[in-house]
A and B are shown apart, each in its own frame.
Chain A
Amino acid sequence: MSPLNIKKSSASHSAYDLHDPNAVLIETHTLAVVVDNESGVLARVIGLFSGRGYNIDSLTVAEVDHAGHRSRITVVTTGTPAVIEQIKAQLARMVPVHAVHDLTVEGPAVQRELALLKVAGKGEARIEALRLAEIFRAHVVDSTLESFVFEMTGTPEKIDSFAELMRPLGLREMARTGVAALSRGV
């Protein structure tokens, strides 16, 4: 397998990147969307984004309230302020959507992502990888004589920079969960 060529903040390049080159103000927003946990709900939300040409930088979803049958979708998206406003209005009017929170404007929020990185190497490179992992508080969750799998959580930017450092040291594969986010305080 060839080494991955991961550009800085690669996570913000989406399959539906339709940036208008003339639009000056592009913002990134993290939205938390509380939905009924019914079949097809994720397809519905993703279909809205692709159908209307909005960007998805990152998307996570899981049931968060089993009894209440609710899931929480965290989606990081970019666009002009008008597009972001449209995205929120379009999401809010969907039948299975209970609430849309814009964590970027509703006050400070914590954002975390989990990543697994496989780094292969021997000798100096291997030692260097381990040292850097310690600095970034990445844990070794699997090791062979020639490879490590690191697990780390942090902001997407932190994961980006760790991956960037691992690249010359033998980064082979990476898996990321996408962002989960909550507002701070109560």
Chain B
Amino acid sequence: MTRQMTGARMVVQALKDQDVEVVFGYPGGAVLPIYDEIFQQNDIKHILVRHEQGAIHMAEGYARSTGKVGVALVTSGPGATNAVTGLTDALLDSIPLVVLSGQVPTFLIGTDAFQEADTVGITRPCTKHNWLVKDPAILAETIHQAFHVARSGRPGPVLIDIPKDVQFATAAYAAPETARVSHYQPKVRGDAEQILRMVELMETAERPVFYTGGGVVNSGPAASALLREFVDATGFPITSTLMGLGAYPASGKAWLGMLGMHGLYEANLAMHGCDLMINIGARFDDRITGRIKDFSPHSKKVHVDIDPSSINKVIRVDVPIVGDVTHVLEDALALWKDRGSRVNKAALAKWWKQIAVWQAVKCLNYKPSSVLIKPQYALERLEALTKGMDRYITTEVGQHQMWAAQYLGFEAPNRWMTSGGLGTMGYGLPASIGVQIAHPDSLVINVAGEASWLMNMQEMGTAMQFRAPVKQFILNNERLGMVRQWQDLLHGQRYSQSWSESLPDFVKLAEAFGCKGIQISDPADLDDAIMEMIRYDGPFIFDCRVEKHENCLPMIPSGKPHNEMILNDSETAGAIGGKGGALV
């Protein structure tokens, strides 16, 4: 049975058939036929954003907090180019998105028509795949394929560019079950022989460590459950990248905290000193490895990743396992149990004793103040007052982001949304709205820096319009804090352009948007203000004036190995030198 319909109707029908509930978008000339179809139905909710970058970050927040594919709709030309940052962000953090863009009619393509841009050309390097659909007969099938590609294998953003005449033209609709099966079928089961080698290494390891990443979260809740079981059964310590927080609970016994440039001392030294590193769904990013030559010099390395190109890209590994984390963990755990659930208990006890010595350093300690709000203290209080609540956290990018990762605890996956790979200032506010749209009754907090927050603050309008009671917790240091910190460490305290001048009055800004704001600067007021924010029924802007010159520590300076970590301010002088200065 074939149904004839216009391309525009096909778009909406295909989205419904893909179980899409929400689309984040912004209209324009080249997508009007699709908007006309959206007007005439009620199944799909459309969230009208204020800037297309916001739409993509919202779709990202939606996707990351639900595990579903996020969907955005933008017009041609400027609509599509505004989406580029979000697409790149989603590509680097492996977030599944389907972005639909309008295009000028096929007969005008190439003429520099009004609002024409080479959207597939521009977005080719920042999508997992993209399509320009010139024939309405293959439009529906292409949309179904797009969802398949976005969510299969290593997830990522895809884009479909749809010329306006294709939206008007009529053709037969292809339902998902009748659409051609894509040849794109990444391998999900790991190689049995390599899994055996991994298990053998685990049985005898003296100083093992699990190093997990966003791949565990992306693989779904089953992966986190298996990971927890494996970690608890083996008693191996576990650390995670920024992207993987929550896959193993922060309250778990084996948890070492985050690793990497601003990771915990014990986590980084465990990585440096281990004899078996089990990388699950992480990618040896430069924020993690520090100087490659000195990265974990004495360990055998296992790497589980669904993307074969991640393996041996940066670090040579001994046991490469290409597959989906859930499948690989399932197989490895079963095999390990079958063989008698063996670990080297005596050595492990010694290893934990060593780790306890590192933990005793208390690397997250900071100098408290009774006069000024220390950003770390603000986050400690936020953690204490919201712990156990049905809570989702997003962040912007900068020092506040790293402090949030250090001082907030995540007990479950999909609760922590931050721009890791691209480090996109302006991500957090729209992402928090996307999360809130998916979880209307949950507490959604964006831990922000004042500078990042301004980058997409127009989206407060979206939050108001769609009654998304997102809490904007701004750690306002009146500085581009992370930039200031690098200038402190690397450029002789010459703070070139790294302060925030002429900031708006955030309380009045909140009023202007029709929501509520508060400004505090006295640590004594912090708890009450946080409680007021939580209790307020609506979007809330919290201007938390904090110490302006705090550095985010610990820190492994660029180009240094894990065991050359800066722990406190007295060690920062001349910390980044030589080649490190050229790195970012």
Contacts and interface: CB of A to CB of B under 8 A. Distances in A.
A95 B132 contact: no
A86 B284 CA distance: 15
Nearest to B149: A95
A61 B311 CA distance: 29
B309 A47 contact: no
B16 interface: no
* Central interface residue in B149, B308, B312, by most chain A CB within 10 Å: B308
Nearest to B154: A93
Interface stretch (A3-11, A12-20, A37-45): A37-45
Given A39-B132, A40-B132, A98-B183, A92 B308 contact: yes
Given A44-B124, A47-B124, A86 B132 contact: no
A67 interface: no
A23 interface: no
Nearest to B145: A95
A86 B311 CA distance: 9
Contacts of B183: 98
A27 to B, nearest CB: 16
Interface string B116-144: 00001100110011001000000000000
Contacts of B149: 95
Contacts of B311: 89
Interface residues of B, number: 20
Q: Which DSSP category, helix, strand, loop or mixed, fits chain B's interface?
A: loop
Nearest to A36: B183
Contacts of A85: 312
B89 interface: no
Contacts of B307: 93
A51 interface: yes
B153 interface: yes
Nearest to A93: B309
Nearest to B310: A89
B253 interface: no
B184 interface: yes
Nearest to A89: B309
B124 A95 contact: no
A89 B149 CA distance: 17
Interface in B156-211: 183-184, 186
Interface string B297-324: 0000000000111011100100000000
A40 B121 CA distance: 8
B309 A82 contact: no
Contacts of A96: 129
B120 to A, nearest CB: 6
Contacts of B309: 86, 89-90, 92-93
Nearest to A95: B129
B308 A95 contact: no
A44 B130 CA distance: 10
A93 B308 contact: yes
A105 to B, nearest CB: 16
A20 B154 CA distance: 30
Interface in A42-67: 43-44, 47, 51
Contact of A43 (B124, B129, B154, B308): B124
Contacts of A82: 312, 316
Contacts of B125: 47, 51
Interface in A64-89: 82, 85-86, 89
Interface string A81-120: 0100110011011111010000000000000000000000
Contacts of A47: 124-125
A93 B307 CA distance: 8
A44 B128 CA distance: 11
Contacts of B316: 82
A86 B313 contact: yes
17 contacts: A40-B120, A43-B124, A44-B124, A82-B316, A89-B309, A90-B309, A92-B308, A92-B309, A93-B153, A93-B154, A93-B307, A93-B308, A93-B309, A94-B129, A95-B128, A95-B129, A95-B184
The 5 closest A-B pairs by CB, nearest first: A89-B309, A95-B129, A89-B308, A90-B309, A95-B184
Given A89-B308, A93-B308, 11 more contacts: A40-B124, A43-B121, A43-B124, A47-B125, A51-B125, A82-B316, A86-B313, A89-B309, A92-B309, A93-B307, A94-B129
